[in-house]
A = this chain, B = another copy of it.
Amino acid sequence: MTSSPLGLHRVREPEPGAPDTGGLKTAAPSPGEPRPGEPRPGERGSGGAVLPQAAWRLDPDPRIQPDEVRVGVERLNLDAASFRQIRESTGGAPDAMRAAVLGIIGARGKMHNPVTGSGGMLTGVVAEAGPRSPLGLHAGMRIATLVSLSLTPLAITDGLAQWDGQSEQIPCTGHAILFARSIAVPLPDDLPMPLALAVFDVCGAPALTQRVVSACRAGRRFGGAPAGSRGPVVAILGAAGKSGSLSAAAARAAGAAAVIGVVPTGAEAALLHESGLADAVVRADARDPVGLADAVAGAGGPADVTVVCVDVPGCEGGAILATAPGGTVIFFSMATSFSAAALGAEGMAADVTMLIGNGYAPGHAELALDLIRRHEPLRALFERRVFHQRADFVAHIAENSAHSGGPGRGRGEAGRGEAGRGEAGREGPGSGGPGAAAGTEAGV
């Protein structure tokens, strides 16, 4: 077979060029479920090759092409929707759940839930890296994949015997194949795995924020007048969240003149203020266009760059209205409506450049880890987000609160105190375990 950087050579069903209905299916969908053999609209045109994500079945042959990498799998992180569907459709019995996951992987050559259409990600150790792989990996490296399991060839060899079905984290043995255009990053030694995975999950946001702020500072942008050497005023909607706090740190590192952090509640405002990540902290409902624009204007705006990290629908109009003419809005929220943004800007005669947040940029994971390492208050804020659902973490806070200087600091310390437990926890966390928070939001 001829190797393709996108993995086209691993596609087995449908065959490239085969009719949409062709190919023997190894599993029949139930009525009402998607017809997995037929790619959804947009994934395949007439007669074209099918991308691995659109394919029904991939070939997980462990023999690699010169530009591929084989990974010894240690753990699958199912996305939350897939885990829930499997648990509900099987009634939650561990044997039945193991059989369901093994059935999907056996039939499709990938952990691509045919009902939810989603996958997840995996961690493991590089077993063999082809000489022409551009991923910079070598045997023995412990890595996480940042592309979805729905396009990653996978085989399981231990029958999932180590999985009790209680968590979307599946400890297991097997192998996966990475293509030349896959994304995989080494797991850092100095950070707990749940923290690293949560950082990887949102690392596209600080990367693009840094790029846009740097471009503005250098006078390079598509619209409006060049900003000259003065850095832009940057507003971050949802600045106390994971992607928001990282983006705030990235904006400052890239030379923003000022960072305005927008949060919905007084509690988040206190945390953000404590962190020092923003020059100004304002409370506003991002779904209220006029209120948001007024709040940002009152804190040093309008913004030259507005970064939308609020994962609720309806923030398009406010983001546009809070942005100065010639400015840029970066939409990272997956709740963004394309048409609401396009028509909203037109309806308000707003001359703004609007970017769809791309989850990928070269070096994005390293940039985000570096921000976390260098900014203690960012790490504290971030860890609070990652670990705050753990019951023992709450207990830990209560225990520590008498000794800490304030809620932000106390929580930060507690979060860092979880590091050892986080690492250990990955060997067998419960459904509320440290990986769960990351897994829930890492759904791909």
Contacts and interface: CB of A to CB of B under 8 A. Distances in A.
Given A211-B222, A346-B147, A48 B285 contact: yes
Interface in A312-365: 313-318, 321, 331, 334, 336-343, 345-362
A316 B338 CA distance: 12
A53 interface: yes
A45 interface: yes
A359 B347 CA distance: 9
A215 interface: yes
A42 interface: yes
Given A44-B287, A288-B45, A342 B357 contact: yes
Chain copies in the assembly?
2
A415 interface: no
A331 B358 contact: no
Contacts of A285: 45-46, 48
Interface residues on A, range: 35 or more
A226 B219 CA distance: 13
Among all A-B residue pairs, the 3 with the closest Cβ atoms: A42-B314, A45-B288, A45-B285
A222 B213 CA distance: 9
Contacts of A221: 215, 220, 222
A234 interface: no
Contact of A346 (B215, B338, B358): B358
Given A51-B290, A147-B347, A220 B223 contact: no
A41 interface: yes
Given A42-B313, A42-B340, A341-B356, A289 B48 contact: yes
Contact of A347 (B151, B346, B353): B151
B317 A346 contact: no
A21 B361 CA distance: 45
Interface string A19-59: 00000000000000000000011111111111101000000
A351 B362 contact: yes
Contact of A355 (B43, B151, B316, B355): B355
Given A42-B315, A45-B292, A342-B358, 14 more contacts: A42-B314, A42-B316, A45-B286, A48-B285, A49-B288, A146-B346, A147-B349, A151-B347, A183-B349, A212-B222, A223-B361, A336-B338, A342-B357, A350-B358
